[in-house]
Amino acid sequence: MEADELLLLVAGGDQMAFEELYGLVAGPVFGLVRRVVRDPAQSEEVSQEVLLETWRSAARFDPRRGSALSWILTLAHRRAVDRVRSARAAGEREQREARRAHHPAFDQVTEEVEAGLEREWVRRCLERLTELQRQSVTLAYYDGYTYREVAERLSLPLGTVKTRMRDGLTRLRECLGGAA
């Protein structure tokens, strides 16, 4: 069954449908959260929260406004970013940076996963962006920085970063268009 259909059943309290949905989304949710949060224990905790929130608030899902997968992954990303920002605010920033020095941002996590066609496409398409587009998008999405922080890190004006983000996402869409 498709995720959309399953999530509608879950909204009706169907635990079996949730189990099936879990099989579809747990990998993407966990992978995304870990990509952003990095720390494995915290990633697991955030992923659990996201999956339970999916169960709890499934009734809020409106299929007219997007797919179930995008609803769940948007939630996962939001929670992961919240976690990483509060960790930074709590002064763990240096620790994280030190850890990251040993784990190059792009390859480390994905290497251990079996190669997926979609991932390959995304990676290729990311490579086709300009350097600034790619960095603007990935620093925000994979590292959880706000666009202000991205601007600071790249020494760019705010307006430029906002534009690079939009252009980056749009080019990604064009590039991925044929891959779906």
Partner 1 sequence: MSLFRREDLHSLAAPYALDALEPAERARFERHLKDCASCAADVRALSEDAVRLAWSAAAPPPSAMRDRVLAAVRTIPQESAVRPEPARARPEPVRARKSQLPPHVWGAQPPPRQRQRRPLFVPFATATAAAALVVASLFAVQANRTQDELDAQKAQASEIAHVLQAVDARATRGQDAQGRTIGVIASASEGRAVVTLSGYNAPPSGRVRQLWLMRPGEQPRSLGLFAADTPLVASGLDKSATSLAVTVEPDGGSPQPTTQPVVQLALKSVGFGE
Of 101 and 180, which has the nearer Cβ to partner 1?
180
Interface characters, 79-118, with partner 1 (x: CB under 8 A): --x---------------------------xx-xx--x-x
Q: State the alpha helices, DSSP H only, in 38-92.
A: 40-56, 68-87
Q: Which of residues 49-78 bind partner 1 (CB under 8 A)?
A: 49, 51-52, 55-63, 65-67, 69-70, 73-74, 76-78
Gap between the Cα atoms of 45 and 166, Å rounded: 31
Gap between the Cα atoms of 139 and 161, Å rounded: 11
Collect all residues with Cβ–Cβ distance below 8 Å to 150 and sequence separation of at least 6: 135, 136, 139, 140, 156, 161, 165
* Residue 135 sits in the site that holds partner 1 (CB under 8 A): no
Smallest distance from partner 1 to CB 73, Å: 4
* Residue 31 sits in the site that holds partner 1 (CB under 8 A): yes
